[in-house]
Chains A and B, each alone.
Chain A
Amino acid sequence: MKPSKAKTVFDVQAIRRDFPILGRQVHGKPLVYLDNAATTQKPRAVIDALVHYYEHQNANIHRAIHTLGEEATAAYEETRAKVSQFINASRPESIVFTRSATEALNLIAYAWGRANVKKGDEIVLTQMEHHSNMVPWQRLAQEVGATIKYIGVSDEGTLDLDGLDDIITEKTKLVSVTQVSNAFGTINVLDKIIAAAHRRGALAVVDGAQSVPHMPVDVQAIDCDFLAFSAHKMLGPTGVGVLYARYELLEEMEPFQSGGEMISRVRLEGASWNDVPWKFEAGTPNIADVIAFGAALDYLSALGMDNVRAHEQELTAYALRRLRQLEDIIIYGPQDTSRRGGVASFNYPDIHAHDVGTILDREGVAIRAGHHCAQPLMRRFDMAGTARASFYIYNTLEEVDALIEGVEKARAFFSHASG
């Protein structure tokens, strides 16, 4: 049942050796880390970049006239250029560093939304959004008296685009949609939605938190106006988010937060703003983690995002095939792996995902169990949550086997215990 020879697109064993944490044990079993949609592990190169910065370059950036400050500034700005290249932005100044994807989405809601969305306007989201791409818009709508409309989700866990023209109308000011569902792994086809938004003069925001780490993403090809994602889900450190925006939009927008770094001149009467993108980076930014994020981007670029995608697709196809063989199990999202990212989301009808998660943890297998910060989607399927395994570059087919064994054990445990 397992392919005798994995048609691996790169050397997974060599990759695994780059990740120190993968050598540890959990409850006496080798760690099988399948919670990559929550956060990924870090390669030695990223950890070393953090240490190198603090040991050799630590200084505040942009203002220092000494060598350390110059080096730190250059390293920080180099990451901006790498991010720009990674998502094929037309210029590095389109990239704003935030502390998370959530903060990037809030930045749009505050700096663009408060100035442009008025009473009676409409914002369009989907029923499968992560709370971070829902709550900032709900707050904005409540404040200004706008309305939120939702694109629905089909039983298969895909977006229901019938009637899109009734949802996105002249009243729509902004459409915000995730490229990949964090709960089910569904890959959304964005072109229809973004074209509909632009046709009506609305802006298009893409939540790329689950897509940019896992597949090639080209902002010019997607034709979005904003894209948000976070470093820690793609080998980078925690505490760094990215907002991509069309440069002209960033120029028009007022700052989000204000203070140091973001000004050009301050008088007692008032202040004027620094250039884009720095006018959106008030205060000393997360210099060390941004620099180390550069090492993460180098690591992924060297592997090639097409290869990352192919590897995850192979793991996902195998995981779905094995899960389908388990009696009574329910699998959410499309079965066709060309339409789904590296996520397997499932439930037993009579076992809560938390109980499955606890039993798997005793086997060293780390998965996520719960609502995945997507409660409206869970409600749509009338459930409290799912068990979710999510894959990345260092996962193997053997680890999928460990997952399946653990799931079988959970099933046996509960039927045994109840019998």
Chain B
Amino acid sequence: MPLDRDVELDELYREIILDHYRNPRNRGSLDQPNAIGEGDNPLCGDEVRVDLDIRDGRVSDVRFEAKGCSISQASASMMTEAVKGLSLEEVDSLFETFKGMMYGSDEVDVEALGDLEALQGVRKFPVRVKCATLAWNTLQEALEEFGKGRG
């Protein structure tokens, strides 16, 4: 079926996003996670769960389970790839950069985001921004809980 190209729509659903949606990375659960986050988006019923194995202040392994739209699933998948191996400080700073991009800050070093940059197009669709940030907010809550346990 021939399609009239809709540039903004193509930006929203970039190939890499659809690829993560179709072929999610790190999907599933960990046998013995030491941090777990569960989040949902009450607006649309999207649900996500993030399992983390944190060792020596680094994300040594991560898995996710998600029910939701292509954006929320792809974002969760891309996030797990991006944070695996990072120190918790690096995860925080990456999340800040990511949020900066999603909420339209000018001072964001988009280069530092790698593949995550593909989610930039979601900005043009304000109702979908929450879909893209759901997994990240869930990850952050898991890390906060983990920090409290340690504190």
Binding site for B on A (CB under 8 A): 351-355, 358-359, 362, 369-371, 375, 378, 384-385, 408-409, 412-414, 416-418
CB-CB under 8 A from B6, the residues of chain A are: 362
Give the complex CA separation of A160 and B150 in angstroms. 51
A408 cross-chain contacts in B, Cβ below 8 A = 1
Q: List 28 A-B contacts (CB under 8 A).
A: A351-B70, A352-B68, A353-B69, A354-B68, A354-B71, A354-B131, A355-B69, A355-B70, A358-B9, A358-B12, A359-B9, A362-B8, A370-B44, A370-B45, A371-B44, A371-B45, A375-B45, A378-B45, A384-B46, A384-B47, A384-B68, A385-B45, A408-B1, A409-B1, A412-B3, A416-B3, A417-B15, A418-B22
Q: A354 to B9, Cβ gap below 8 A?
A: no
Chain B minimum-CB-distance residue to A370: B44
How many Å lie between the Cα of A370 and that of B42 in the bound state?
9
A384: which B residues are within 8 A, CB to CB?
A: 44-47, 67-68
Measured CB to CB, the closest approach of chain B to A148, in angstroms, equals 21
- Check if B18 sits within 8 Å of A352, measured CB to CB: no
Complex CA–CA separation, A352 to B68 (angstroms):
7
Chain B nearest CB from A253 CB (Å) reads: 32
B1-38 at interface with A (beta carbon < 8 Å): 1, 3, 6, 8-9, 12-13, 15, 18, 22
CB–CB B46/A417 < 8 A: no
Instruction: Enumerate the 7 nearest inter-chain pairs by beta-carbon distance, A residue then B residue, closest first.
Output: A352-B69, A354-B69, A371-B45, A384-B45, A412-B1, A370-B44, A417-B18
Contacts of A413 in B (CB 8 A): 3, 9, 13
Contact B15 A369 (CB under 8 A): no
Closest partner residue, chain B, to A385 (CB atom):
B45
Choose one: A358, A371, A412; the contact of B128 (CB below 8 Å).
Answer: A358
Expressed in whole angstroms, the minimum distance between the Cβ of B30 and any Cβ of chain A is 23
Minimum distance in angstroms from B66 CB to a CB of chain A: 10
Residues of B within 8 A of A362 (CB): 6, 8-9
